[in-house]
């Protein structure tokens, strides 16, 4: 199998004011890889994704997506991308049908084609009956499913998923994980950010761990386990982010709960 | 989604947009979505007239709100036709227009300028930022033109027929310039606020502007007819006052003076020039500062700085007037909710505003034509009941909240006794909402009546307490902040409102007639205290009603 570079990040730096959030990131992603992109809160994960999507434009370094420099002004690469944002932003006063057809059309799809596709996907995700209802009336899980559908509707080559499983029930999670695995086999590239280590460990073919704006680990799960001598991704995460006083803190918390000094 | 006719007329300029390197189909789609979202939103001027029934229908709330602007437009017709003192008349017209357009832009269209979702949802799609920005600009232009047409259209047409074609043309051109100026001014104002404060502060400021708009519209309805009695149109001179230079309505009125009345004095020329130059200059400044705006916009999503935790006077008062620990808990809870919830403020503060305004308006109204010394000897202080009469109704809002779903805590908590909840909440309403209003109005009345009416005011205040108890007794008893605002009309019927009004009316009558008897007022005062004491003991031993 030939390695085809889908995403190439070189020397990426980004500051907000005086605070440097990304301190020189280098990543090469190949077709079909499922990247588990993890890190503590504020490590710079979302910023990286936002830069790749062109939502944040002032940065240092070079980024090529699908062979295209994202700063060239040509934004056609975005039509090959699907995105589930962590903040779950959505126009809630639209119905699912209105929202999904709108997004599809922005991707350049034909109205009737999106409509049909969206309805089928809603059905398969078990929320077909609310296709014509306003999103504001949806539960958390239903909203999240709608977002996921909006990210998949254009059959993207690259998927950026930021905590995509929030609020989704276990059965649907199983379906969605299976879908991701199949999409990866089809040659789609997936960039998966989450705090739930078990899911990341199971899904990802490669894990990139970000700490304080720098990559501190990059490899598949077995490699990481071998080098760090840890049994699970959770432990690796704790080790590499330098967090090892969880027992101590837990003890203090329990003490405060019980009201003893 | 509807295909709006405005979009179809926009199609005529398709070629022009394509030339500007704008993705026309995408821009059209975005505008269509934005217009649909607008039609489903409730604007501030309509705040009090909507109910749950309409919520699910795809009715155009925006179009309904236009009728309110149209009514204002009719007032402007009267202003335009009033005489030939264009300078003064048009200053009034432009002043009125500026006020409403500016407050509307801030209260309802802040969401367009400040929408962070746009970036996240739309820019991650293959859409260039030029297309998105053009969609945003067109959106605001469509919106302002519709409001402008409703508000200015009548006076433009009638004024054109009566005052000639020159009047029509000046008016038309100026209103376009003024609109651009206002849009830019709003944008620059946000820029300035965001430069120094965080998003929370900005949202607070928007909230207060919404409240001011609501109060002005409602009070305006009561006053509009009297404006012409109060102001003597001919005797007012605006020209050549130093402060005229900082009032935009005056600049925009000047060209009428220049072209139609042939007044070519230096100040008229300067004003006229400012009406043209300032809008254009501000647009240029805006384009230059746009990038700074975009980066400051990020502050909106950020968490605000650490808020200070200051123990307020109201909490100290609460500790004194609440007997039990549970009562204090719900006093504090209610106080915090009242202070922080923007939707609650938007619904309640306007009524509080009227309660300050109406007693004073009515007092001055009834006192017109008599001297201050004469007023002191009348019972004109009874006008203070215009506050005490409306305030008890505010109590019904306390059961509602925009975040009513948080009320699950009541079911989960081990609450056996609901008395401290109701008592704590009602005491908080008294201290935090009623007391400041009554205090302000009372001080003004005391000054006017030279401190002769202290005993009367105490009776008024006790009557307010009793009135609020009546409202509590008659209206459905809801736990604080446990229902959606939309349910408020359904909760209490005509009968309850009628009975509570009659009850409060009776209290006022008792006050009035008690003064006919010697020491009657003090007898009534004692009676009030007894009634309050009994109520506090028994009235609140109730369960919340479904």
pLDDT at A254 exceeding the cut of 70: yes
Mutation target for B interface from A71, A75, A79: give the one with most B CBs within 10 A.
A75
What is the C-alpha separation between B301 and A50, in angstroms, rounded? 14
pLDDT at B48 exceeding the cut of 70: no
Both structure tokens of B75: 């007032």
Beta-bridge partners for A210: A39, A215
- Top-confidence range, A143-147, B257-261, B293-297, B542-546: A143-147
Strand order in the sheet with A206-211: A81-84, A158-162, A189-193, A34-39, A206-211, A214-219
Which residues of chain A have a CB within 8 Å of the CB of B127? Answer: 75, 78, 106
> Do B233 and B378 lie in a common domain?
no
Residue B543 lies in a domain: no
- Amino acid B56: pLDDT: 43
Which residues of chain A have a CB within 8 Å of the CB of B119? Answer: 55
Is A106 in Cβ contact with B125 (below 8 Å)?
Answer: yes
Band (A260; pLDDT cuts 50, 70, 90): low
pLDDT above 90 as % of chain A: 33
Mean pLDDT for B74-103 is 83
pLDDT at B43 exceeding the cut of 80: no
Band (B189; pLDDT cuts 50, 70, 90): confident
Interface of B with A in 17-76 (CB under 8 A): 25-26, 29-30, 33, 36-37, 40-41, 56
What backbone torsions phi and psi does residue A28 show, to the nearest 5 degrees? -120, 125
Which residues of chain A have a CB within 8 Å of the CB of B124? Answer: 53-55, 78, 81, 83, 85
> Do B166 and B275 lie in a common domain?
yes
What is the C-alpha separation between B193 and B286, in angstroms, rounded? 15
pLDDT at B541 exceeding the cut of 80: yes
A40 contacts chain B (CB < 8 A): no
Mean pLDDT for A66-95 is 85
Mean pLDDT for A158-178 is 90
Q: What is the maximal distance between C-alpha atoms in chain A?
A: 66
Give the burial string for B401-422 (b: 16+ CB within 10 Å, else e): beebeebeeeeeeeeeebbbbb
Tens of pLDDT, residues B216-237:
777 766 665 555 554 555 555 5
Give the number of other CB atoms < 10 A from CB of residue A146: 25
Residue B546 lies in a domain: no
What is the C-alpha separation between B304 and A175, in angstroms, rounded? 39
Of B252, B277, B300, the one marking the end of a domain is B300
CA distance B25 to chain A (A): 8
Of B300, B330, B357, the one marking the end of a domain is B300
Mean pLDDT for A55-68 is 87
Nearest to B146 by CA among B88, B91, B104, B83: B104
Of B300, B333, B361, the one marking the end of a domain is B300
Q: Count how many pairs of residues, chain A against chain B, have C-beta atoms within 8 Å.
A: 66
- Amino acid B225: pLDDT: 52
- Residue A108 region, left (φ>0) first, then alpha (ψ -120 to 50), else beta? left
pLDDT at B438 exceeding the cut of 70: yes
Nearest to A142 by CA among A92, A104, A215: A92
Nearest to B1 by CA among A97, A116, A91: A97
Band (A147; pLDDT cuts 50, 70, 90): very high
Give the number of other CB atoms < 10 A from CB of residue A250: 10
Q: Are A137 and A169 in contact (CB under 8 A)?
A: no
Mean pLDDT for B429-436 is 90
- Amino acid B369: pLDDT: 67
Give the number of other CB atoms < 10 A from CB of residue A138: 18
What backbone torsions phi and psi does residue B302 show, to the nearest 5 degrees? -70, 160
Beta-bridge partners for A5: A30
Which residues of chain B have a CB within 8 Å of the CB of A93? Answer: 36-37, 40-41
Is B33 in Cβ contact with A98 (below 8 Å)?
Answer: yes
Place of tokens 């199998």: A1
- Residue A249 region, left (φ>0) first, then alpha (ψ -120 to 50), else beta? alpha
Tens of pLDDT, residues B349-370:
888 888 888 888 888 777 666 7
Number of compact structural domains in chain B: 2
Q: Are B397 and B479 in contact (CB under 8 A)?
A: no
> Do B169 and B277 lie in a common domain?
yes
> Do B239 and B290 lie in a common domain?
yes
Q: Are B139 and B41 in contact (CB under 8 A)?
A: no
CA distances (Å), B325 to each of B398, B413, B417, B437, in order?
Answer: 21, 15, 13, 27
B111 contacts chain A (CB < 8 A): no
> Do B418 and B511 lie in a common domain?
yes
For residue A121, give every residue at least 6 positions away whose Cβ sits within 8 Å of its Cβ, in sequence order, or none.
Answer: A149, A152, A153
Residue B277 lies in a domain: yes
Q: Write down the mean pLDDT value for chain B.
A: 81
- Amino acid B45: pLDDT: 63
Is A79 in Cβ contact with B37 (below 8 Å)?
Answer: no
A135 contacts chain B (CB < 8 A): no
What is the C-alpha separation between B481 and A159, in angstroms, rounded? 42
What is the C-alpha separation between B413 and B345, in angstroms, rounded? 27
Mean pLDDT for B484-511 is 85
What is the C-alpha separation between B514 and B459, in angstroms, rounded? 11
pLDDT above 90 as % of chain B: 16
> Do B406 and B444 lie in a common domain?
yes
A86 contacts chain B (CB < 8 A): no
- Top-confidence range, B30-39, B198-207, B293-302: B30-39
Which residues of chain B have a CB within 8 Å of the CB of A98? Answer: 1, 33, 36
- DSSP secondary structure letters along B477-512: ---TT-B-GGGHHHHS-HHHHHHHHHHHHHHHHHHH
Range of the domain at B25: 5-47+57-300
Both structure tokens of B108: 């309802």
Q: Which SS3 state, helix, strand or coil, does residue B521 take?
A: helix
Facing B33 at nearest CB: one of A76, A91, A134:
A91
What is the C-alpha separation between B454 and A80, in angstroms, rounded? 76
Q: CA dihedral defined by A164, A170, A174, A177, rounded to 10 degrees? A: 20
Q: Are B466 and B426 in contact (CB under 8 A)?
A: no
- Amino acid B526: pLDDT: 94
> Do B343 and B415 lie in a common domain?
yes
Q: Write down the mean pLDDT value for chain A.
A: 87
pLDDT at B302 exceeding the cut of 70: no
CATH class label, A5-87+156-258: alpha beta
> Do B374 and B246 lie in a common domain?
no
Q: Where are the domains of chain A?
A: 5-87+156-258
Lowest mean pLDDT among B14-28, B41-55, B318-332, B468-482: B41-55
Which residues of chain A have a CB within 8 Å of the CB of B301? Answer: 87
Cβ-defined contacts of B410-413 (< 8 Å, 24+): B410/B479, B410/B482
Mutation target for A interface from B43, B62, B123, B126: give the one with most A CBs within 10 A.
B126
- Amino acid A35: pLDDT: 92
Which residue blocks in B298-324 are alpha helix, DSSP H?
313-321
Lowest mean pLDDT among A1-10, B32-41, B470-479: A1-10
> Do B125 and B225 lie in a common domain?
yes
Q: What is the maximal distance between C-alpha atoms in chain B?
A: 88
Band (B386; pLDDT cuts 50, 70, 90): confident
Q: Are A224 and A236 in contact (CB under 8 A)?
A: yes
> Do B267 and B318 lie in a common domain?
no
pLDDT at A227 exceeding the cut of 70: yes
> Structure pTM?
0.71
Q: Is the sign of the CA dihedral A65, A67, A68, A70 positive or negative?
A: positive
What is the C-alpha separation between B268 and B264, in angstroms, rounded? 6
Residue B140 lies in a domain: yes
Q: Is the sign of the CA dihedral B489, B67, B72, B35 positive or negative?
A: positive
Q: Are B49 and B68 in contact (CB under 8 A)?
A: no
Is B121 in Cβ contact with A89 (below 8 Å)?
Answer: yes
Mean pLDDT for A22-32 is 90
CA distances (Å), A153 to each of A110, A193, B209, B465, in order?
Answer: 12, 20, 41, 60
Mean pLDDT for A44-52 is 88
Radius of gyration, CA atoms only, chain A: 20
> Do B288 and B328 lie in a common domain?
no
What is the C-alpha separation between A5 and A209, in angstroms, rounded? 20
- Amino acid B529: pLDDT: 95
pLDDT at A120 exceeding the cut of 90: yes
Is pLDDT larger for residue B83 or for residue A246?
A246
């Amino acid at each position: 199998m030939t390695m085809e570079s889908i995403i190439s990040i070189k020397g990426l730096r980004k500051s907000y004011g005086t605070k440097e959030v990304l301190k020189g990131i280098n990543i090469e992603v190949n077709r079909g890889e499922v990247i588990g992109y993890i890190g503590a809160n504020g490590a710079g994960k979302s910023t990286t994704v936002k830069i790749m999507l062109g939502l944040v434009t002032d940065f240092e370094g070079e980024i090529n997506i699908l062979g295209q420099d994202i700063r060239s002004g040509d934004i056609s690469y975005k039509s090959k991308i699907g995105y589930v944002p962590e903040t779950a932003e959505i126009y809630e006063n639209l119905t699912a049908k209105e929202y999904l057809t709108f997004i599809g059309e922005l991707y350049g799809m034909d109205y009737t084609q999106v409509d049909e596709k969206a309805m089928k996907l809603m059905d398969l995700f078990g929320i077909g009956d609310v296709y014509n209802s306003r999103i504001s009336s949806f539960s958390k899980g239903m909203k999240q499913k709608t977002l996921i559908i909006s990210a998949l509707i254009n059959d993207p080559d690259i998927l950026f998923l930021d905590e995509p499983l929030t609020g989704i029930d276990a059965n649907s999670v199983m379906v969605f994980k299976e879908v991701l695995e199949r999409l990866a086999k089809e040659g789609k590239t997936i960039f998966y950010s989450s705090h739930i280590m078990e899911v990341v460990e199971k899904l990802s073919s490669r894990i990139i761990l970000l700490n304080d704006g720098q990559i501190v680990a990059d490899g598949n799960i077995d490699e990481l386990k071998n080098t760090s001598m840890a049994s699970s991704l959770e432990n690796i995460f704790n080790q590499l982010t330098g967090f090892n006083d969880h027992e101590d803190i837990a003890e203090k918390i329990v003490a405060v709960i019980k009201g003893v000094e | 989604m509807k295909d709006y006719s405005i979009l179809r007329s926009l199609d005529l300029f398709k070629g022009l947009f394509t030339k500007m390197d704008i993705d026309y189909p995408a821009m059209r789609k975005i505008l269509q979505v934005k217009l649909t979202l607008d039609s489903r939103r409730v604007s501030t001027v309509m705040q009090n007239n909507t109910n749950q029934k309409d919520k699910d229908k795809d009715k155009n709330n925006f179009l309904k709100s236009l009728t309110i602007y149209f009514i204002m437009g009719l007032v402007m017709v009267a202003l335009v036709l009033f005489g030939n003192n264009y300078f003064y008349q048009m200053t009034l017209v432009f002043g009125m227009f500026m006020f409403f357009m500016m407050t509307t832009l801030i209260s309802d269209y802040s969401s367009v300028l400040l929408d962070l979702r746009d970036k996240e949802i739309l820019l991650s799609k293959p859409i260039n930022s030029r297309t998105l920005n053009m969609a945003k600009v067109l959106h605001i232009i469509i919106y302002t033109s519709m409001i402008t047409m409703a508000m200015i259209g009548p006076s433009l047409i009638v004024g054109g027929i009566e005052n000639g074609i020159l009047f029509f043309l000046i008016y038309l051109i100026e209103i376009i310039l003024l609109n651009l100026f206002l849009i830019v001014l709003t944008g620059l104002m946000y820029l300035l606020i965001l430069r120094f404060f965080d998003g929370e502060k900005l949202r607070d400021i928007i909230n207060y502007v919404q409240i001011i708009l609501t109060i002005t519209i409602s009070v305006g309805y009561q006053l509009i007819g009297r404006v012409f009695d109060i102001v003597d149109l001919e005797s007012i001179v605006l020209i050549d006052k130093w402060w005229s230079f900082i009032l935009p309505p005056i600049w925009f009125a000047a060209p009428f003076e220049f072209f139609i009345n042939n007044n070519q004095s230096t100040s008229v020329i300067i004003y006229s020039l400012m009406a043209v130059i300032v809008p254009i200059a501000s647009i240029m400044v805006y384009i230059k500062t746009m990038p700074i705006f975009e980066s400051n916009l990020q502050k909106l999503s950020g968490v605000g700085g650490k808020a200070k935790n200051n123990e307020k006077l109201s909490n100290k008062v609460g500790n004194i007037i609440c007997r039990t620990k549970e009562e204090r808990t719900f006093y504090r809870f209610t106080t915090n909710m009242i202070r922080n919830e923007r939707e609650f403020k938007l619904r309640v503060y306007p009524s509080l505003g009227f309660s300050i305004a109406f007693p004073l308006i009515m007092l001055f109204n009834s006192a017109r034509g008599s001297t201050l010394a004469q007023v002191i000897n009348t019972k004109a202080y009874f006008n203070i009941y215009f506050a005490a009469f409306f305030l008890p109704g505010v109590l019904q809002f306390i059961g509602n909240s925009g975040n009513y779903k948080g009320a699950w805590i009541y079911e989960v908590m081990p609450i056996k006794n609901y008395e401290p909840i109701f008592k704590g909440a009602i005491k908080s309403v008294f201290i935090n909402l009623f007391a400041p209003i009554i205090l302000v109005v009372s001080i003004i009345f005391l000054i006017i009546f030279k401190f002769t009416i202290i005993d009367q005011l105490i009776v008024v205040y006790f009557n307010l307490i009793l009135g609020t108890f009546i409202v509590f007794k008659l209206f459905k008893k809801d736990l604080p902040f446990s229902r959606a605002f939309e349910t408020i009309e359904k909760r209490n019927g005509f009968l309850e409102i009628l009975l509570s009004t009659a009850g409060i009316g009776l209290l006022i009558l008792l006050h009035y007639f008690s003064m006919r008897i010697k020491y009657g007022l003090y007898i009534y005062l004692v009676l009030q205290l007894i009634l309050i004491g009994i109520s506090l003991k028994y009235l609140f031993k109730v369960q919340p009603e479904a």
